[in-house]
Structure 1
Amino acid sequence: MSNLTSFDNEEQDGYIKIDQYNEQSVKQVASYYPAILKSLGEDPEREGLIKTPERVAKALHFLTHGYDIDAANVLRSAMFEEEYSQMVVVKDIEVYSLCEHHMLPFFGKAHIAYIPDGRIVGLSKIPRVVDAFARRLQVQERLTNQIRDCIQETLNPAGVAIVMECKHMCMAMRGVQKQNSVTTTSAFTGAFENDVTRSEFLRLITASLA
């Protein structure tokens, strides 16, 4: 059963976000939190915490709603025949995810390129693929590979490249407590395994158009 029914956007005099959840799942997750709060030394019955279990349950469902998204279908919904064979780069894609080891956030940017081989994809679908995999319990290394593989296997381009740069709260808030550290991961297929092509991609994602 899906934990998340839908996250719909509706525009009426501006931007309104409508969140809908599987109420049974929300209640189940929320039911554990009074005991957790109590074990941490808190009073789950005090005013500020009465609704916290439900809020946390809804937040967790939102932060992990990628489990309900088929990333390949996202791409297939906007694939077009086009004889364009140069590099397509989408950079500075915001990434928000949860580390599966401590369930603390990690966040940053992804830079993605592909070289079409007869088909292109609607540009908005690439960030949506990022979200589909990021909104799960993750490690950055797996997340990088999943995005690369989904684009390569679904679109079948001449090559895919991805570089991801993220800050991890499990390093900044606990453990080693290094607030300024950034983790970079990369993955390449096809034409991007060539040094020249890969270097061009890296130059483009670090260049400023200003």
Structure 2
Amino acid sequence: MAYRKTEHYDETVTNGLMNHYKEILNLLGENSEREGLLKTPERIAKAMQFMTQGYEQNAVEILNSAKFHEPISEMVIVKDIELYSLCEHHLLPFIGKAHVAYIPNGWITGLSKIARVVDIFSRRLQVQERLTVEILDAIKEALQPLGVAVVIEAKHLCMMMRGVSKQNSSTTTSAFFGEFENDRTRSEFMKLISAELH
């Protein structure tokens, strides 16, 4: 039996994007009818829908789908969450990792849901600064915790491939709420995400 990959895409959106990408290839001086490029517009159209699927997802609903009552108030950290996003200024990728923590106030959520929240907001056209705050706001709204902290470290291909062409630069953004605005709690979080505990 032959291999058949099954994916689901909006046909209207796919066809519209394909037409535009075909025209882009021609405007760049390429021949969109040559063998190597014949399926490129379709591939890009589907890739773009995959990489922006976060628009169709609700982070608060995801967190609430695995929300459990627990009478604890100790820091919960999920660190080194891989993220892949598209810079909204150049539509080039930025790639990195997120470190997310919260202090429960009677409610916890499934650990995988924290990673899902990062994915939902990453899979949109983004700037790293807004991405950081959106992750924090979703956790804050769903769990109403005593505190939330988000730190993102990423490399931006718009800086590496074009413009200043700085391959070794990285960008760090952070957002803190509640108990994490306290120096001691924030310092503990920063120490823990920097530590090699393995």
Structure with greater strand share of residues: 1
Task: Name the structure 1 match of 2:75.
Answer: 87
Counterpart of 1:180, as a letter, is N
Alpha-carbon distance in 1 for matches of 2:20, 2:153: 34
SS in 2 for 1:162: strand
2:28 is equivalent to residue 40 of structure 1? yes
- Shift in CA distance, 17/115, structure 1 to aligned 2, threshold 3 Å: farther
Q: Which runs of 4+ in 1 moved over 3 A?
A: none
SS in 1 for 2:41: helix
Q: Aligned residues, how many? A: 195
Counterpart of 2:161, as a letter, is M
Task: Name the structure 2 match of 1:121.
Answer: 109
Counterpart of 1:40, as a letter, is L
Task: Name the structure 2 match of 1:147.
Answer: 135
What do the CA deviations read for 1:56-97 (whole angstroms, capped 9, x no partner)?
A: 000000000000001100000000000111000000000100
2:46 is equivalent to residue 58 of structure 1? yes
What do the CA deviations read for 1:171-205 (whole angstroms, capped 9, x no partner)?
A: 00000000010000000000000000000000000
Alpha-carbon distance in 2 for matches of 1:126, 1:77: 12
When the two chains are superposed, the root-mean-square deviation of aligned CA atoms in Å is 1.1
Of 50, 55, 60, the match for 1:67: 55
What do the CA deviations read for 1:141-181 (whole angstroms, capped 9, x no partner)?
A: 00000000110111100000010000000000000000010
Listed as ranges, the gaps of 5+ residues in structure 1 are 1-15
**TM-score calculated relative to the size of structure 1:** 0.91
Alpha-carbon distance in 2 for matches of 1:120, 1:156: 10
Counterpart of 2:102, as a letter, is Y
Task: Name the structure 1 match of 2:151.
Answer: 163
What do the CA deviations read for 1:116-162 (whole angstroms, capped 9, x no partner)?
A: 00000000000000011000000000000000011011110000001
- Shift in CA distance, 77/17, structure 1 to aligned 2, threshold 3 Å: farther
Task: Name the structure 2 match of 1:101.
Answer: 89
